Amino acid sequence: MPELTFRAAESAADKAAVLRLRDEVYVKDQGRLADAADMRSTFDRFDRQAVYLLAESDATPVGTIKLIADSPAGLPCEEAVDLTEVRPGNRLVEYGHLLTLPSVRSRAVATGLMREAVVYSAARLGATHVLGDFFIDSTGALHAFYTHLGFGPLGEPYRDARFQDAPLSVVALLDLADAARRCAQVEGRRGELLRYFFHDYHEQVSRYHDQVSRAALATADTAAAESVPAESTEAGAGV
């Protein structure tokens, strides 16, 4: 496969690409939805606080993941779990719709999208914890990939009524800072996985705080300028 690139979906064409991916996977390949737009009243009602990331190969979208920042509107996973004890002092982001085209489906696309989601969550959204609604394995547990990263279940497995014939899934939570700390402590393949995802976590957190500081300074400068009386401005202009 050609080199993958990742970016946020911003244009109308990008959003159309997301719908095409949803149609290819959820409608045509898996039969989970009757129509790609079926989620307007469920997941898509959170789109005002969400961003989609696209994976592209030769400039062609081959995968996507949705990031939903917590807000007064809440998060989709709250239909299955109670976040009352998780929210205080934390910034939550929920991941959903991790999709790859059936024709190019590979671990590289899905893993790359998850890695980009972690970077975006830390650097742009200031997330401390991320959540996902993941299918469980044949033993009723989270797949090893997620547990190796540090995801832990928040509730009991359930069947998501938003999808047709959906397998059992469970909502799981990951503490990003804790996962980053474990990078230096865990060896072997688990350690390699953690370092792939979190080797630059603290750099991404610093980027977020720099972004917040710049925004605060810009707001303060604007407020100061607006507070200057008109006559003072006119007097200064004539000096």
Residue matched to tokens 């789109």: 47
Residue 176 CB burial class (10 angstroms; 0-12, 13-18, ≥19): buried
CB 209 within 8 A of CB 197: no
Angle at 6 between CA 148 and CA 151, to 5 degrees: 20
For residues 67 and 151, what is the distance between their CA atoms, to the nearest angstrom?
16
How many distinct structural domains can be found in the chain? Answer: 1
Does 239 reside within a domain? no
Overall average pLDDT of the 89-101 stretch? 95
For residues 60 and 70, what is the distance between their CA atoms, to the nearest angstrom?
30
- Eight-state DSSP code of residue 166: P
Model pLDDT, residue 233: 44
pTM over 0.75: yes
CATH at 43: 3.40.630.30
* Token pair belonging to 37: 């737009």
Does 109 reside within a domain? yes
Does 135 reside within a domain? yes
Give pLDDT tens digits for 190-220. 899 999 999 999 898 888 888 888 887 877 7
For residues 59 and 47, what is the distance between their CA atoms, to the nearest angstrom?
24
Mean pLDDT of all residues belonging to the chain = 87
Q: Phi and psi for 163 in degrees, rounded to 5?
A: -115, 150
For residues 159 and 163, what is the distance between their CA atoms, to the nearest angstrom?
9
Domain of 84, in residue numbers: 4-232
- Per DSSP, the three-state class of 54 is strand
Model pLDDT, residue 235: 47
Does 68 reside within a domain? yes
Does 188 reside within a domain? yes
- Eight-state DSSP code of residue 177: H
- Eight-state DSSP code of residue 12: H
Model pLDDT, residue 239: 32
Q: How far does CA 92 lie from the centroid of its chain?
A: 10
CB 133 within 8 A of CB 163: no
Overall average pLDDT of the 57-85 stretch? 95
Does 81 reside within a domain? yes
- Beta 50-57 vs 129-135: how paired, if at all? unpaired
Of 154, 148, 149, the closest CA to residue 173 belongs to: 154
